[in-house]
Amino acid sequence: MRADAIRRVVIVGGGTAGWMAAAGIARVAGELPGLEIELVESDEIGTVGVGEATIPQIALFNAMLGIDEADFVRATNATYKLGIEFRDWTRLGHSYVHPFGFYGLDMKGVQFHHHWLKGRTLGDPTPLDAYSLAVVAGLRERFAHPRPDQPNSPLSKIGYAFQFDAGLYARYLRRLAEGWGVRRTEGRVVDVTRDGETGHVSAIVLQSGARVAGDLFVDCSGFRGLLIEGVMGAGFEDWSAWLPCDRALAVPCESGGDRRPLTRSTARPAGWQWRIPLQHRIGNGYVYSSAHVSDDEAAATLLANLDGAPLAEPKPLRFKAGHRRRAWIGNVVALGLAGGFLEPLESTSIHLVQSGIARLMTLFPARGFDQLEIDRFNAETVEEYVDIRDFLVLHYKATERDDSDFWNYCRTLAPPEGLAYKLAMFRRNGRIFREHDELFTETSWLSVMVGQGVEATGYHPVADLLSDEETLRRLHHIRDVVGQTADAMPTQDEYLRRIGCD
Ligand code: FAD
C-alpha cells in the first residue's frame, strides 16, 4: 500500500449517482487494503426521483458490477428499450425513431445510408426506419437479445437498453454496495471543514453533530452541488440559450396504450413530453421552457396526454442546461446532477454518471492530488457534455415547426459551431463523422438528421459501383429481411414473462 494512498472516500448523496458511485468504486477499488467508503444521504431531502430511461452503455456498467440482467430487470420493474420514438418534432403528425444498433448493411465499403440516399434519387420512397431492426421490431412491440451467433441476421447486432424504476435501481445498487463494505450514514450535511493549507475538504458535519472525515469527496448531492459549488465555487457554464427548457413536471400513470419497447418523446408547444413504459406503470413528464408556457398550462397539457390514470400529483422540477466549469476541484469530484444537467431528451444523464465513475477510476488519485490528472478529468468531462449538447440542439434546430414562439426560437437559433459543421457536412454528400469517440455514433446522428428532415444533396460516389437496379434490389432485400426478422421475434411482453416478470 503506498503511503499516500486514499484511505477514505466519502460520497455525499444517495440518489442514482451516489449509489452508482458507491457500487462502482467499491467493485473496482474496494479491496484495496485500508480503503473505506462511506455514503451520506438525507432521507429528509430525498432524491430527484426521476431518471428512468437509459442508453445501451448501462449494460456495461451493470456487467462490471456482476449484475445478472434478468434479476435486475425483475427487481427494478424494467422494460427493454430499442430506441426513442420522436413524435411531432419535425412537423406536427410526423414521427421517426432513433434506434440503438445500425441501419442496413454497408456495401462496397461504403456506409449503408449512402446506398439509401442513392435509392431515394432513384425514386424509392422507403424510409430509413425500415432498414433498422430496432425500429421495425420496436414499432411492432417486439424484443429479443442480440444473436452474435447469427452473423448474417440483423439480430446479430441489435442494440438495447432499459427503462427502470430509478428508486428501485438505487436500492438494488445500495444492496450490492453495502455487501461490498460501503457504509451508509443517514443525515443532513450542514457544514464543511476545510484544510487551511490546501483548501481541500477535510470533513463534512451532519445535523446530528457527527463529523465524517475523508481524503476524497464525491459530490452526488444533486442540483445543489453542495461541495463542488457550495464549497469549491466551481462556477456554471450556462447553455440555456441553446437549450431553453428549464422546468419539468413529472407524473407516473397506470399502464395503458401501446407496449412498444421504446421511450417516446412528443414535442409540445413549449417543449416535449416523455413517456417511459415500465412493467407496472408509465413514467411521464413535460420538459418545458418557463419563458414560453405557464406551469398551470404545462400541467394541463401533461395530464391531458396520459395513457392511464395519474398515480400522483405532477412533481415540479427546475433546472438549467449546462455544467460545472470544473467537475473536479482539489479533493472534490462531482457526479450526476451536482456536475451538470442536460435535459433527458436522449436519456444521457445516467450515462454521464457512469462515464464519470469510469473516468474517476481511470484517474483514481493519491492524496497528493496531481493537477495534471485533475485537468485531464475536467477536459474530458467538458468534451463529453459539449458533444451531447450539440446532439440535443440538433433536435430543436432542425425542425419545420413554426406554430409557437418556442419553436420559432429554436428553429432560428444559431447552432453551436460543432453542430453547424456536422449539418453542413451532412447536407453536402451525406457525410457523418463521429468526433473523438463521442457518445453518439454515426447511426444516431444519421437517424436524427434524417428524422428531423435534414436533406443530403448527394451521396458517396462509390455507391455507384452498384448499378441502379442492383442498388434497388439489395435495398428491397434488406428491408424484407429486417421485416421478417422482426416478425419472428417475440413480443416484449412474452419476453418479459419468459424471464419471470408478471
Ligand atoms: P439526486 O437524485 O437529487 O440525489 C441527491 C442526493 O443528495 C440525495 O440522496 C439527497 O438526499 C442528497 N443530499 C442533498 N443535499 C444533502 C445534504 N445537505 N445532506 C445530505 N444529503 C444530501 N436521466 C436519465 O439517464 N434518463 C432519464 O430519463 C432522465 N430523466 C430525467 C428527467 C428530469 C425531469 C430530470 C430533472 C432528470 C432526469 N434524468 C434522467 C437525470 C437523472 O434523474 C439523474 O441523473 C439521476 O437521478 C442522478 O441524480 P443524482 O443522484 O445526481 O441527484
- CA angle at residue 261 from 68 to 452, to 5 degrees? 125
Query: What confidence score (pLDDT) does residue 189 get?
Result: 98
Are 291 and 320 in contact, with CB atoms under 8 Å apart? no
Ligand 1 center to 220 CA (angstroms): 8
pLDDT digits (tens, 9 = 90+) for 277-296: 999 999 999 999 999 999 99
Asked if residue 420 has pLDDT above 80, the reply is yes
User: Which ligand 1 atom is nearest residue 276's CA?
Assistant: 28
Separation of alpha carbons 254 and 273, rounded Å: 16
**Cα–Cα distance measured from residue 454 to residue 466, given in angstroms and rounded to the nearest whole number:** 25
Q: What is the ipTM, given to two decimal places?
A: 0.99
Beta strands per DSSP E along 176-327: 183-186, 189-194, 201-206, 211-213, 216-219, 236-238, 247-253, 263-268, 271-277, 282-288, 315-318, 322-324
Q: Is the pLDDT of residue 49 over 90?
A: no
Ligand 1, pocket residues at CB < 6 Å: 12-18, 40-42, 45-48, 50-54, 166, 188-189, 220-222, 224, 226, 248, 250, 285, 317, 319, 336-338, 344, 347, 349-350, 353
- Cβ atoms of 348 and 387 within 8 Å: the answer is no
For residue 82, what is its C-alpha cell? 430499442
Q: pLDDT band at 225, cuts 50/70/90?
A: very high
pLDDT bucket at 437, cuts 50 / 70 / 90: confident
What distance in angstroms lies between residue 194's CA and the mean position of ligand 1's atoms? 26
Grid cell locating 449: 438528421
**What would the pLDDT profile of 149-181 be if each residue is shown by its tens digit?**
999 999 998 999 999 999 999 999 999 999 999
Residue 16 alpha carbon, nearest atom of ligand 1: 51
> What is each CA distance from 348 to 168, 331, 355, 428, in whole angstroms?
19, 26, 10, 29
| 119 Cβ contact partners less than 8 Å away, ≥ 6 residues apart | 126, 471, 472, 475
The predicted-structure confidence for 316-370, as pLDDT tens digits, reads as follows 999 999 999 999 999 999 999 999 999 999 999 999 999 999 999 999 999 999 9
> Confidence class of residue 51 from pLDDT cuts 50, 70 and 90?
confident
3-state secondary structure string across 90-135: CCCCCEEEEECCCCCCCECCECHHHHHHHHHHCCCCCCHHHHCHHH
Report d(CA 429, CA 423) in Å as an integer. Answer: 11
Given this model, what pLDDT does residue 140 score? 98
Task: Report the nearest atom of ligand 1 relative to the CA of 189.
Answer: 19
86 CA → ligand 1 middle, Å: 25
Pick the catalytic residue from 81, 118, 397, 422.
81
Query: Using CA positions, which residue lies closest to atom 6 of ligand 1?
Result: 13
Q: In a mutational test of the pocket of ligand 1, which residue from 10, 169, 189, 221 has the highest number of ligand atoms less than 8 Å from its CB?
A: 221
* Distance from the alpha carbon of residue 15 to the mean position of ligand 1, in angstroms: 5
> pTM to 2 decimals?
0.97
Whether residue 436 is predicted with pLDDT greater than 90 in this model: the reply is no
Nearest atom in ligand 1 to the alpha carbon of residue 285 is 34
Task: Give residue 31's pLDDT.
Answer: 87
Which cell numbers in the block locate residue 300?
Answer: 394541463
Q: Which of 238, 239, 291, 288 is nearest to 266 (CA)?
A: 288
Distance 51 CA to ligand 1 centre (A): 8
Residue from 41, 48, 163 whose mutation best tests the ligand 1 pocket (most atoms within 8 A of CB): 48
Q: Which among 232, 235, 292 has a CA at the least distance from the CA of 267?
A: 292
In three-state secondary structure terms, 271 is strand
- What is d(CA 163, CA 55) in angstroms, rounded to the nearest whole number? 9
Task: Look at the block and give the residue holding cell 419468459.
Answer: 498
Name the packing angle between helices 349-362 and 371-397 (round to 10°).
160
The predicted-structure confidence for 447-500, as pLDDT tens digits, reads as follows 999 999 999 999 999 999 999 999 999 999 999 999 999 999 999 999 999 999
Helix (H) or strand (E) holding 10: strand 8-12
CA of 393 to the centre of ligand 1 (A): 23
Residue of 349, 352, 357 best suited for mutating to test ligand 1, as the one with most atoms within 8 Å of CB: 349
Q: What pLDDT does residue 62 have?
A: 97
Pocket test for ligand 1, best of 10, 11, 16, 79 (most atoms within 8 A of CB): 16
Ligand 1 center to 332 CA (angstroms): 18
Please say if 81 is a catalytic residue: yes
Distance in Å, CA 436 to ligand 1 centroid: 28
Closest-lying ligand 1 atom to the alpha carbon of residue 53? 28
Average pLDDT over residues 73-84: 97
**Cα separation of 195 and 134, whole Å?**
53
Helix (H) or strand (E) holding 86: strand 83-87
74: how many CB neighbours lie within 10 A of its CB? 16
Atom of ligand 1 nearest to the CA of 250: 34
Tell the residue nearest (CA) to atom 4 of ligand 1. 15
